Amino acid sequence: MTIYKCRNCGNEKKQYLPPKICDCCNSQDFYIDLSSHNKLVNEYKTAFEQADFLKRQYQTYTKYSLTIALLIFLTTMTIIIYLQKRQNNQLKSLINNIPSPKPIPSLNNIPSPKPIPSLNNQNQIVGKVNLHGSKTLLSLRKEARITTNNILTKLTDGTELKILAKIEGEMYQVAGQKRNDWYQVEVESKQGYIAGYYIDLILKSLKY
Ligand SMILES: [Zn+2]
């Protein structure tokens, strides 16, 4: 603060603004103590310099923070774009890898029973049961497979029967070999299946 001195009695007053009146002699005439005035000016000067320094520092920081914020923003955007691209690529590859439905096998591939060739009207191929001496009776079955509950009837050795078709049925093992040939036959007005091993084909003339 500045020191003001009364010209009349020398009383000092320490304050910012010039006093109106002296407390001692009621004089209104004061002068400024120069050393205190210069000190005050220097204090202001220092304060201004400090303020200016702070202002420049603040501007620098602001500039840096803007740059850093911009860098963070750009980095984040780059990462987001990269992740989205990666996700899109993963989706694309997933879609590309979905297996296409396998074609349903056409009905044409199912083997049809081979017809027995008929020679002419006079002759006919018939079957004859041949047990090869292995057993006494042969089973006529509902299906072309060997099981206990599909037996229609039992046939004796040498029985003649009508051949309807030759087919591939269940695999069976006989006389040391595996076979799957079966005959669809008709005998005693019953239709059924017999393993091919037990049928001899014979050509029979219908002339007599
Ligand atoms: Zn005075």
The three-class DSSP label of residue 188 is coil
The domain boundary, picked from 92, 125, 149, lies at: 92
For residues 86 and 6, membership in a common domain is answered with yes
Instruction: Measure the CA–CA gap between 189 and 167, rounded to whole angstroms.
Output: 20
Q: Find the 47 Cα to ligand 1 centroid distance in Å.
A: 33
Q: Find the 8 Cα to ligand 1 centroid distance in Å.
A: 5
Distance (Å) of CA 142 to CA 79, 120, 138, 183, 206? 72, 30, 13, 12, 29
Tens of pLDDT, residues 112-148: 676 666 555 667 788 999 998 887 899 999 999 999 8
Q: Find the 14 Cα to ligand 1 centroid distance in Å.
A: 14
For residues 62 and 121, membership in a common domain is answered with no
For residues 9 and 70, membership in a common domain is answered with yes
Instruction: Measure the CA–CA gap between 116 and 163, rounded to whole angstroms.
Output: 8
For residues 7 and 73, membership in a common domain is answered with yes
Q: What is the pLDDT of residue 53?
A: 95
Token digits of residue 60: 């620098």
For residues 125 and 45, membership in a common domain is answered with no
For residue 87, what are the domain limits? 2-92
Q: Which residues are found with C-beta within 5 Å of the ion, ligand 1?
A: 6, 8-9, 11, 22, 24-25, 27
Residue 104: inside a domain: no
Q: What is the pLDDT of residue 95?
A: 87
For residues 159 and 82, membership in a common domain is answered with no
Residue 26: inside a domain: yes
For residues 7 and 75, membership in a common domain is answered with yes
For residues 200 and 122, membership in a common domain is answered with yes
Q: What is the pLDDT of residue 84?
A: 95
For residues 131 and 86, membership in a common domain is answered with no
Residue 105: inside a domain: no
Count of domains forming the chain: 2
Residue 87: inside a domain: yes
Query: Can you list the residues of the chain whose pLDDT is less than 50?
Result: none
The domain boundary, picked from 57, 92, 127, lies at: 92
For residues 119 and 63, membership in a common domain is answered with no
Q: What is the pLDDT of residue 144?
A: 93
User: Of all helices (H) and strands (E), which one includes residue 108?
Assistant: none
Residue 49: inside a domain: yes
Q: Find the 39 Cα to ligand 1 centroid distance in Å.
A: 24
Q: Find the 15 Cα to ligand 1 centroid distance in Å.
A: 16
Q: What is the pLDDT of residue 118?
A: 56
Residue 97: inside a domain: no
For residues 135 and 200, membership in a common domain is answered with yes
